[in-house]
Amino acid sequence: MEIIKNIFTIKKIPFLSWSSPEPLNLKPKINTCIFLTFGLFLFGLGETILIASSQGVSPWTVFAQGISINTNFSIGFATFIVSVSVLLLWIPLKQKPGIGTILNAIIISIVLDYSYPYLPKPDQFFYQILQSFIGVLIVGLGSGFYLIANLGPGPRDGLMTGIQKISKLPIYFVRTSIEITVVLIGWYLGGVVGLGTIIFALFVGPFVSLGLLIVKIFFK
């Protein structure tokens, strides 16, 4: 019960023995790199599991769809524009990039491409919803590993950690607020929202907090 309680109260990324002292670290420990890579692999796998459920995509993809519809940009280019814009928001939030920021895009993209053909694509609604939950849970666990590695977050996670440091609000609340805001804007712009998208928006915050706590307890 204690870990459930802490999901809604944790306010900072834990620092463990294998965490990098600084995000911009060009000579990180080997085990730090292993945990970073494993976390990003899980993150990418979780997102792919969500996509394979056929119940929707992540809120940020809905946002990119909405921009694409209103600008005639491709979804890929709209996603790039969103990522660059979010990175610019790092400046006032005083967030620092690192090798994890670069590997975030590379590893997750590779996992998306190569894991999708091998994942189940259920036809029954119950199993689609179950798979959506599993995908979001794995995203949360992966976030726990790669954020605690402290080698630089991805653009969206950096936005979360930056806002959290300024607001002092619980991590789950900040992440959930960001995802709900993004999906509402994306939906307003014409992006397609599925039930899996709503599950992601509502549960990724608590699952990220859960992932941080699990890693803190079992991978010291």
pLDDT score recorded for residue 7: 93
Q: Looking at this protein, which amino acid is placed at residue 96? A: K
Q: Following DSSP, what letter does each residue of 97-129 receive, concatenated? A: --HHHHHHHHHHHHHHHHHGGGS----SHHHHH
pLDDT score recorded for residue 1: 64
Write the secondary structure of 126-176 as one string of H (helix), E (strand) and C (coil): HHHHHHHHHHHHHHHHHHHHHHHHCCCCCHHHHHHHHHHHHHCCCHHHHHH
pLDDT along the chain (220 residues), means of 10: 84 96 94 97 95 93 93 88 92 93 91 92 96 97 98 94 96 97 96 95 97 95
